[in-house]
Amino acid sequence: MSIDHDTPHATEVRDADFYEDFRAELRQFMEASCPPELRAKVRTNHKMGRAEYAVWQRIMAAKGWGAPGWPVEYGGTGWDLQQRYIFEEVSAELDCPPLYHHGLGHIGPVIMHFGSPEQKARFLPRIIDGSQWWCQGYSEPGAGSDLASLKTSAVRQGDHYLVNGQKIWTSHAQEADIMYTLVRTSVEERKQQGITLLAIPLETPGIEIRPIRTIDHWHHVNEVFLRDVRVSVDNCIGEEGTGWKYGKFLLDRERLSPASVPRLIRQLQQVEALLLERLRDQGPSPSLHAALERLFLAKASAEGAREMLMSAITEEREGTLQSSKSSALKLHSSELSQAISTLAFDLSAPELAPRLLPDDEYLPVGDAEDCQRQLVHTYLFYRSRSIAGGTSEVQKNVIARELFGA
Ligand SMILES: Cc1cc2nc3c(=O)[nH]c(=O)nc-3n(C[C@H](O)[C@H](O)[C@H](O)COP(=O)(O)OP(=O)(O)OC[C@H]3O[C@@H](n4cnc5c(N)ncnc54)[C@H](O)[C@@H]3O)c2cc1C
């Protein structure tokens, strides 16, 4: 996420009424302006792509809320931390889509901190109005957890680089315009050196995007092949050879998404409603009692996640955040999301499990059976939560290294 360090309001003391009025203003606008069909899709856990995200991004940008976490000078709202969190809470409560993270939460802050004035002017406004869609080209077949082993090469030839290599697991590449990409510009003694961050437009000749279907049969990740792709040196973000620093800056923020916790709390509410329905229909039983215990544990865990997030973003703002806290939050949220979706699966799945494939007959969005089916899809999709953005084992390594110097 990006923190509005530069907001003029950052140190201003505001009373509870101010935040309640703010919450009411958000609620009123979002309720009136988010299309009902979009809210129905979010409420029923449907997967979304650019088409859906872009509708909401345009509406928010027109209102001036297109970049809630960005400073005013870059077109953001300049909201303080509490406003930022209230925004995510209201958005989740009302089942509005999250704002698409690759531009706003990931590469946008990197460009703000390390990009040239020309790059800021070229890229940032198009992230806010949603006209340019980014994806992340980090992982390679031989470089996932060990990202610094990446081999995709970029050789400087006058005013451009010639890029060759392969990326994998690239989320939403099939609908993105541009990929922020870690490439190797030189081989140095330490593998973290010689890495460069390039913005590669995806319509450039020499790029091939092949779909990968995940366990839930959704197509959102891809392989991206790059063969003699010419990329202007103007698209090198920051200094050549120091991309590892920007990549890490970005990953720490990726693991600290302010939207994640309110969305989990919203899903918990849905599972609670499902469980209460089962209790009403079937009466108490040992298995429903056990489910109730799991629900209470998940609720306590969600409170823990909220506290962790608030303290992490406060530290981020003060410049004292350590990677271990982002990693701890990522680890905790991944486990929690899997606990919630597993509980939903256990409560709804058995009779629906054979009907999960995309060629199922159409069910109207919001139909009770459709809702249950989407819960099962979410269960399957959330298996990836402990992998994407760095696996749980890797998060534990980061935490151990920082705490114990291991
Ligand atoms: C749904 C999804 C979306 C993704 N989106 C993107 C994207 O948009 N862009 C992008 O660049 N990448 C993306 N990824 C890739 C993701 O970041 C990698 O899958 C992840 O970093 C793990 O790398 P790997 O798959 O190569 O597994 P590996 O690194 O090969 O790991 C295999 C296993 O070994 C374990 N392991 C590895 N090293 C260690 C260690 N040192 N100590 C202990 N255990 C270890 C891992 O925890 C894992 O269990 C996505 C992945 C998924 C599943």
pLDDT of residue 145: 96
Is residue 215 within 8 Å of 170, Cβ to Cβ? no
Q: For 328-337, what is each residue's pLDDT tens digit?
A: 999 999 999 9
* Nearest-CA residue for atom 13 of ligand 1: 169
* Pairwise pLDDT comparison (118 vs 323), residue with the higher score: 118
Going from the Cα of 136 to the center of ligand 1, the distance in angstroms, rounded, reads 14
Q: Which long-range contacts (CB under 8 A, 24 or more apart) does 147-150 make?
A: 147/182, 147/247, 148/191, 148/192, 148/195, 148/244, 149/191, 150/182, 150/183, 150/184, 150/195
pLDDT of residue 319: 79
Q: Which residues of 52-80 are buried (b: 16+ CB within 10 A; e: fewer)?
A: bbbbbbebbbeeebbbbbbbbebbbbbbb
- Cα–Cα distance, 370 to 49 (Å, whole number): 19
Q: Distance of alpha carbon 306 from its chain centroid, rounded?
A: 17
Is residue 72 within 8 Å of 230, Cβ to Cβ? no
Going from the Cα of 108 to the center of ligand 1, the distance in angstroms, rounded, reads 23
pLDDT of residue 3: 35
* Nearest-CA residue for atom 26 of ligand 1: 144
Going from the Cα of 242 to the center of ligand 1, the distance in angstroms, rounded, reads 22
**Least confident among 13-22, 68-77, 221-230, 384-393:** 13-22
Q: In the block, which residue shows the tokens 């690759």? A: 102
Q: For 190-209, what is each residue's pLDDT tens digit?
A: 999 999 999 999 999 999 99
Residue 4 confidence (pLDDT) above 50 = no
Say which residues have a Cβ less than 8 Å from residue 136's Cβ, sequence separation at least 6: 102, 106, 107, 170, 171, 179, 180
* Nearest-CA residue for atom 18 of ligand 1: 144
- Residue 297 has, within 13 A of its CA and on its CB side, a CA count of 14
Going from the Cα of 384 to the center of ligand 1, the distance in angstroms, rounded, reads 9
* Nearest-CA residue for atom 38 of ligand 1: 145
* Nearest-CA residue for atom 43 of ligand 1: 393
The ligand 1 site (C-beta within 6 Å) comprises 135-139, 144-145, 169-171, 214, 221, 384, 387-391, 393-394, 397
DSSP 252-297: HHHTT-TTHHHHHHHHHHHHHHHHHHHHHHH---HHHHHHHHHHHH
* DSSP H or E stretch at residue 354: none
Rounded to 5°, angle at Cα 97 from 94 and 100? 150
Tokens of residue 88, six digits: 């995510």
Q: For 357-382, what is each residue's pLDDT tens digit?
A: 554 566 777 777 777 778 778 888 99
Q: Looking at ligand 1, which atom is closest to the CA of residue 172?
A: 8
Q: Looking at ligand 1, which atom is closest to the CA of residue 102?
A: 8
Q: For 53-90, what is each residue's pLDDT tens digit?
A: 999 999 999 999 999 989 999 999 999 888 988 999 99
Mean pLDDT across the chain, nearest whole number?
A: 90
Facing residues of 195 across strands?
Answer: 184, 242
pLDDT of residue 359: 47
